[in-house]
Structure 1
Amino acid sequence: MYLLFSHHFLVCLAIITTSLIMAQAVAAPIKAVIKLSPEPITQQTIDLPLNEYHALKILALANVSSSQVPRPFDTPSPSIASPISDYDIGIDVNNNNIRDDYERRLLFQYQRPEYVAMGILAAAHWDRLAASYYQQDRIPSITAITLITNNIAINQCYYALQQIDNALVSPIFHYFNTEHRLLIKQQAEDKLLDIIATSAFTVDFEPQPCQRFILLAESMLQTTLTEDELAH
């Protein structure tokens, strides 16, 4: 469905979706277990956007492994020297472009490689979202629309999966885990929504939001995932 949406409608939709995700996160227990070989999930039990094979490929590409979990380190104090401070970026000891505290949380939180891979793909999007706040060059309208619709689709996908798997918790508040990072997220979204409000482009919401993870996976793996590949 193609519609022109107002700035206020998009803000309300984003807030409502995020609130639903947060409610699930508060209610669900946290399992401090590092285990990436559970019983397989079939399409009859849950409709995951990725299968285990592609999830493991993403983990290998991102160099994420329970045997190489970075040790905890204290978060450094904010730096005033650069527009994007070390405090925003966080510590990345193993240099895989994933903040170590978030990487540890993914591996402790989720027992399934599919969920860990989804968390990695979501983080790659959230990296781009946060970077848009600091970007001084003009952001094209189509880029703003892509970032916002990705944002909404990711939230909607996690919420839909939580209706089937009560143990699943969205990692959004593990990524934006401080007031400062949440503020950057909000200001980035406001900036993008302002761009969209003056755009002539239409906003297309994904009818199957979890499909957006497939697009993110294809971008990371630099390949096209067919239905047959995703089913096995």
Structure 2
Amino acid sequence: MDDLPDAARALRGGLHSPAQALEFVRWLAAAWTDRPLAPEDGCPEAELAAAEARLGFPLPVALRSGYALFGRRDDLTRNQDPLVPPSGLYVDEESDEVLVFREENQGCAFWGIPLAELGQDDPPVVLSTGRDWVPFLGRMSLAWVELALSEFLLGSPRYDACELPSARLPALHALHARLPLPDHPMWASWEESPIRWYAAPGRLLRHDGLGNLCWLHATARTPAGLDALHADLPAGWVR
């Protein structure tokens, strides 16, 4: 499998800036989907300016840049917990303190940027399940990477998942490299947190949780690659 690039190599330089984060999204589209990003995949300037005029404030640079790059690319933004289009961006009514840009598909969770942080180029992102807002990731640029990875993975035609026994964790760590995304919470349950990302050539994996309730979500480039993943990590895979 080493003849193919993988996410760990693509992120070798880290995720220290919005430019690096969005470059990874470019790589993900080119390496894992059927077409690289194109100009029509981004939201045009007029659409973003209209959103700012409606909201009454400018969007942070990192949020704006992600929309401009791939905000219309459904396979990277709208499979499970979709990105809100610019015309639908809104301030949370209950707190009146957070700009919401992403929603769980049944309205069970929301991602946003605190209004008090909107002046930052790359502000922190918070998460709510309808109650308090809690920290999600420290920078919007990291949230773009997480969004693209999650939406692509969960919409992949070769997606599979299993409840991973703790006995399989050494194999997970030995065969896969951890991606440089910080730990972040899984909205559905604190017991299923934190989320951590892993990769190997031809594989992308998301591991949720550290205790007894641990799930592994995975995809592979090819059907044979998915079979090899199943063999490397025997468990009760859904498929």
Considering Cα pairs closer than 8 Å and 6+ residues apart, tell me whether 1 or 2 has the greater RCO: 1
Structure with a larger share of its residues in helix: 1
TM (normalized to structure 2)? 0.29
